C-alpha cells in the first residue's frame, strides 16, 4: 500500500480549494482538513452530527469531546470544524506581530491556518458566531502555540466571538453521557421485526416507566424483558434514544448509574418525575 503523503504544497492547497473545502454550511460544509489528511495516532473520530446530518472530522480527543457538547445544546445551530482562514490575511497578521507564519515542516510552504470550530448559535439577540480553538491546557504554556492563537484571535476580531476551550472547561461526565446516547438519536438502521417496531418499544417503555418508579433502572430493564416482551438490551437502547431525543431527562453532569432508583434518575419531559407504583 502506498504511504499517504501528509505534507502540503501549493498544488495540494489549490486542489483543496477546487474541492470546495472550507465552503458551505450545515450538511453541505466541507472541512478544510479531514482525518485522512493528518497522521493518525488513534485519536480521530467521525461522528454524524445531529445538527448537520453529516460526518464531522475531528482530529483529537479534546475536539471530539467539545463536538459532543456542542451538538447536544439546543441553541447551537451549525458546527463547522477545521475552518480555513484566508492565508493572505493570516500572513499579514503574522507580519504585523513580527512572528513567523506557520508553514509545512517538509515543504516550507505557508499553510492555510484553521480554526478548530466555527459555531453558529441562537441568542435572544439573534444569530451569533463563535470561533473556538481547542487546546490542552498544558499547550498554553508554549510560546509558539500562543503566537498562533494570537493570529487566530486577531483574524476573527469584529467577525466572531473568539473563545479558547481546554479540557478544564468540559465536564467529563457530561461528555461521557452525550457520547453514550449520541449514536442512538435515531434508531433507523437497526434490524426490526416489523415497521414501527421502535416506536412501539418507546411507547411501551414510557407507559411502563410511569408506574415503576420505585425500581432501580437495572431492575426495570430486567422487568421489561421478563414481562413486556423486550429483547435483551432493547430497554437500554430505548432509554438511550429517549435521552438523546430529550424525551427523558437525566442529570447530564453525573455518571448514568443503572443502580439508581428510576423515579430519582429519570424525568419525563413536561411530565415531572416518573410516578411510583401505587
3-state secondary structure the chain: CCCCCCCCCHHHHHHHHHCCCCCCCHHHCCCCCCHHHCCCCCCCECCECCCCCCECCECCHHHHHHHHHHHHCCCEEEEEEEEECCHHHHHHHHHHHCCCCCECCCCCCECCCEEEEEEEEEECCEEEEEEECECCHHHHHCHHHHHHHHHHHHHHCCCCEECCECHHHCCHHHHHHHHHHHCCCCCCCCCCCCCCHHHHHHHHHHHHHCCCCCCEHHHHHHHHHHHCCCCCCHHHHHHHHHHHCCCEECCCCCCCCCCCEHHHHCEECCCEECCCCC
Helix axes 61-72, 172-182, angle to 10 degrees: 70
Residues 6 or more apart whose CB falls under 8 angstroms from that of 30 comprise 19, 20, 21, 22, 23, 24
Which of 170, 186, 205 corresponds to the end of one domain?
Answer: 170
Query: 188 and 151, same structural domain?
Result: no
Query: 185 and 159, same structural domain?
Result: no
Range of the domain at 68: 10-170
Query: 108 and 50, same structural domain?
Result: yes
Cα–Cα distance measured from residue 149 to residue 135, given in angstroms and rounded to the nearest whole number: 10
Query: 218 and 147, same structural domain?
Result: no
State residue 271's pLDDT score.
53
Query: 99 and 179, same structural domain?
Result: no
The CATH code of the domain that includes 200 is 1.10.10.10
Look at residue 277 and tell me whether its pLDDT is greater than 50. no
Look at residue 122 and tell me whether its pLDDT is greater than 80. yes
pLDDT band of 275, cuts 50, 70, 90 = very low
Helix axes 217-227, 197-209, angle to 10 degrees: 120
Percentage of residues in the chain with pLDDT exceeding 90?
87
Give the pLDDT confidence of 148-193 residue by residue, as tens digits: 999 999 999 999 999 999 999 999 999 999 999 999 999 988 989 9
Query: 239 and 199, same structural domain?
Result: yes
Query: 106 and 194, same structural domain?
Result: no
Would you state the cell numbers that stand for residue 81, as one nine-digit string?
470544524
Give the pLDDT confidence of 35-69 residue by residue, as tens digits: 999 886 668 999 999 999 999 999 999 999 999 99
Which of 155, 170, 185 corresponds to the end of one domain?
Answer: 170
pLDDT band of 274, cuts 50, 70, 90 = very low
Q: Strands 126-132 and 161-162: what pairing?
A: parallel
- If you average pLDDT over residues 16-34, what whole number do you get? 97
Percentage of residues in the chain with pLDDT exceeding 70?
94
Cα–Cα distance measured from residue 153 to residue 163, given in angstroms and rounded to the nearest whole number: 8
Would you state the cell numbers that stand for residue 24, as one nine-digit string?
458551505
Spell 168-177 as b/e; 16+ CB within 10 A means b.
eebeeebbeb
Give me the chain's average pLDDT, please: 93
Give the pLDDT confidence of 219-258 residue by residue, as tens digits: 999 999 999 999 999 999 999 999 999 999 999 999 999 9
The catalytic residues are 63, 73, 116, 135
Would you state the cell numbers that stand for residue 70, as one nine-digit string?
456542542
State residue 39's pLDDT score.
81
At residue 187, φ and ψ (nearest 5 deg) are -105, 5
Contact assessment for residue 145 and residue 137, using Cβ atoms and an 8 Å cutoff:
no
Closest CA to 65 of 131, 17, 136, 124: 136
State residue 1's pLDDT score.
38
Amino acid at each position: 500500500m502506498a504511504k499517504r503523503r501528509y505534507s502540503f504544497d501549493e498544488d495540494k492547497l489549490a486542489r483543496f480549494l477546487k474541492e470546495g473545502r472550507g465552503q458551505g454550511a450545515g450538511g453541505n460544509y466541507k472541512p478544510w482538513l479531514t482525518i485522512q489528511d493528518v497522521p493518525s495516532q488513534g485519536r480521530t473520530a467521525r461522528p454524524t452530527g445531529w445538527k448537520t446530518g453529516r460526518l464531522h472530522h475531528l482530529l483529537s480527543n479534546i475536539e471530539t469531546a467539545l463536538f459532543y457538547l456542542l451538538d447536544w445544546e439546543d441553541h447551537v445551530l451549525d458546527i463547522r470544524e477545521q475552518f480555513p482562514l484566508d492565508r493572505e490575511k493570516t500572513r499579514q497578521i503574522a507580519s504585523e506581530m513580527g512572528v513567523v507564519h506557520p508553514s509545512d515542516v517538509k515543504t516550507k510552504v505557508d499553510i492555510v491556518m484553521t480554526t478548530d470550530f466555527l459555531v453558529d448559535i441562537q441568542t435572544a439577540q439573534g444569530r451569533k458566531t463563535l470561533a473556538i480553538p481547542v487546546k490542552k491546557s498544558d499547550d498554553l504554556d508554549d510560546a509558539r502555540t500562543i503566537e498562533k492563537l494570537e493570529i487566530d484571535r486577531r483574524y476573527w476580531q469584529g467577525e466572531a466571538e473568539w473563545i479558547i476551550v481546554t479540557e478544564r472547561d468540559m465536564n467529563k461526565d457530561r461528555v461521557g453521557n452525550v457520547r453514550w446516547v449520541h449514536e442512538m438519536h435515531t434508531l433507523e438502521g437497526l434490524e426490526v421485526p416489523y415497521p414501527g417496531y421502535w416506536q412501539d418499544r418507546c411507547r411501551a417503555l414510557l407507559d411502563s416507566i410511569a408506574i415503576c418508579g420505585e425500581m432501580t433502572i437495572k431492575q426495570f430493564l430486567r422487568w421489561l424483558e421478563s414481562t413486556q416482551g423486550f429483547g435483551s438490551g432493547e430497554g437500554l437502547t430505548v432509554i438511550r434514544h429517549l435521552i438523546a431525543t430529550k424525551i427523558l431527562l437525566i442529570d447530564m453532569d453525573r455518571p448514568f448509574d443503572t443502580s439508581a432508583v428510576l423515579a430519582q434518575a429519570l424525568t419525563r419531559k413536561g411530565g415531572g418525575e416518573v410516578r411510583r407504583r401505587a
